[in-house]
Chain A
Amino acid sequence: MHILYLALALFLLLNLIAGMYRVLRGPTVADRMLAAQLFGTTSVAILLLLAQAANQPALLDVALVFALLAAVTAVAFVRRAWPGAEANHDPH
Chain B
Amino acid sequence: MTLINGLSAVLLIAGSVFFLAGTLGLLRFPDIYTRLHALTKADNLGLGLIVMGLAAQSQSWATVGKLLLIWVLVMFAAASVSQLIAGRALQRGIRPWKR
Interface size for B (C-beta < 8 A) is: 45
- Are B70 and A67 in contact, with the CB atoms below 8 A? yes
Q: Across the interface, do B80 and A22 meet the contact criterion of CB distance under 8 Å?
A: no
Residues in B neighbouring A52, C-beta threshold 8 A? 54, 57
Complex contact B19–A45 (CB within 8 A): yes
User: What separation, in Å, do the CA atoms of A45 and B45 have in the docked complex?
Assistant: 11
A contacts with B, residue count (CB < 8 A): 44
Enumerate chain A interface residues (CB-CB to B < 8 A).
Answer: 1, 4-5, 8, 11-12, 15-16, 18-19, 21-22, 28, 30-31, 33-35, 37-38, 40-42, 44-45, 48-49, 52, 57, 60, 63-64, 67-68, 70-71, 74-75, 78, 82, 84-85, 88, 91
Q: Give residues in B with beta carbon < 8 Å to A.
A: 5, 8-9, 12-13, 15-16, 19-20, 22-23, 26-27, 32, 35-36, 39, 43-44, 46-47, 50-51, 54, 57, 63, 66-67, 69-70, 73-74, 77-78, 80-81, 84-85, 87-89, 91-94
Closest 9 CB pairs of A and B: A71-B77, A74-B81, A84-B91, A67-B73, A15-B23, A78-B84, A41-B43, A67-B74, A88-B91
